Chain A
Amino acid sequence: MKKFILKLILFSGLIMGSLILLNSLYVRTQAYRTMNDMEKFYNVPDNIEIVNVGSSHGLYAFDWTEGKVNGFNFSLVSQDFYYDLKLLEKFSNRLVEDAIVIIPISYFSFDTDRKDKERDFQKMNGRYYSLLPPKEIYGFSIQDFLKYRVLPILSAGEKLKAIISDYTPKNNLTESNNVYEYSQLPEKGRERAQRHLANINKKYFQENMNYLEELIEFAQYKGFRPILITTPTTEWYFGNFSDEFLREFSSLINSIAAYYSIPYFDYSQDPSFRNKPELFLDTDHLNMSGRKVFTSRIIDDLSFYLRPNE
Chain B
Amino acid sequence: MFFNSIEYFLFLPAIYLIFYFTPDRFRWIVLLSGSIFFYASLMQPYLLLVLFGVMLATYVFGKLIAARSEEKEKKRLFWIGAGINLAILVGMKYLPFITENLDLLLKAIFGKSIIPISPVIVSIGVSFYVFQAISYLSDVYLEIQESESHFGYFALYISFFPKILQGPIERANSLLPQLKKPYEFNYDNMRSGLLLFTWGLFKKVVIADRLAELVNRVYGNANAYTGLPLIVATYAYAIQIYMDFSGYTDMALGTARLFNINLTDNFNRPYLATSVAEFWRRWHISFSSWLQDYLFKPLQMRMRNWKSWGSVIALLITFFISGLWHGAAWTFVIWGFLHGLYMAVAVLYKPLQKKLYKKLKLNGTKILKLWKIFMTFNLVSFAWIFFRAESLRDASRVITNLFTGLGTQLGSLSVLKQSLSLGLGKFDLAVAAFSLAFMIVLEFTNRENNEHLLRLQKKPIYIRWVVYYFLVMWIALFSATGSQEFVYFRF
Contact = CB atoms under 8 A, between A and B. Distances in A.
A15 B472 CA distance: 8
A157 B190 CA distance: 31
A169 B480 CA distance: 20
Nearest to A151: B476
A14 interface: yes
A27 interface: no
16 contacts: A1-B20, A11-B469, A14-B469, A18-B469, A22-B477, A118-B483, A119-B480, A119-B482, A142-B6, A142-B7, A143-B483, A146-B6, A155-B481, A156-B477, A157-B427, A198-B221
Interface residues on A, range: 20 to 34
B427 A15 contact: no
Given A4-B191, A11-B468, A15-B476, A119 B6 contact: no
A123 interface: yes
Nearest to A1: B185
A154 B477 contact: yes
Interface in A99-157: 118-123, 141-143, 146, 153-157
A297 B49 CA distance: 65
B486 to A, nearest CB: 14
A247 interface: no
Contacts of B46: none
Interface of A: 1, 3-4, 11, 14-15, 18-19, 22, 118-123, 141-143, 146, 153-158, 160, 198
Interface string B458-484: 000000010011001100110111111
Contacts, number: 56
Contacts of A22: 477
A121 B213 CA distance: 13
Nearest 8 A/B pairs, CB to CB: A158-B427, A119-B482, A118-B482, A143-B6, A1-B185, A142-B6, A122-B482, A15-B472
Nearest to A117: B482
A157 B424 CA distance: 12
A22 B473 CA distance: 11
A158 B425 contact: yes
Interface of B: 5-7, 20, 185, 187, 190-191, 213, 221, 425-428, 465, 468-469, 472-473, 476-477, 479-484
A143 B479 CA distance: 13
A131 B185 CA distance: 46
A241 B243 CA distance: 43
Contact of A143 (B5, B187, B425, B472): B5
Given A18-B473, A19-B476, A122 B481 contact: yes
Looking at chain A's contact residues, the main secondary structure is helix
Given A15-B473, A19-B473, A123-B481, 18 more contacts: A1-B185, A3-B187, A11-B465, A11-B468, A22-B477, A118-B484, A119-B213, A122-B483, A123-B482, A142-B6, A143-B5, A146-B6, A153-B477, A154-B476, A156-B477, A157-B427, A158-B428, A198-B221
B477 A160 contact: yes
A141 to B, nearest CB: 8
Nearest to A10: B465
Contact of A158 (B187, B191, B426, B473): B426
A142 B7 CA distance: 9
Nearest to B423: A119
Contacts of A156: 477
A55 B382 CA distance: 41
Nearest to A145: B6
B414 to A, nearest CB: 14
Contacts of B428: 157-158
Contacts of A119: 213, 480-482
A276 B428 CA distance: 37
Given A3-B187, A157-B427, A15 B469 contact: yes
B477 A4 contact: no
A19 B474 CA distance: 11
A143 B8 CA distance: 11
Contacts of A146: 6
A82 to B, nearest CB: 19
Contacts of A4: 185, 187, 190-191
Contacts of A14: 469
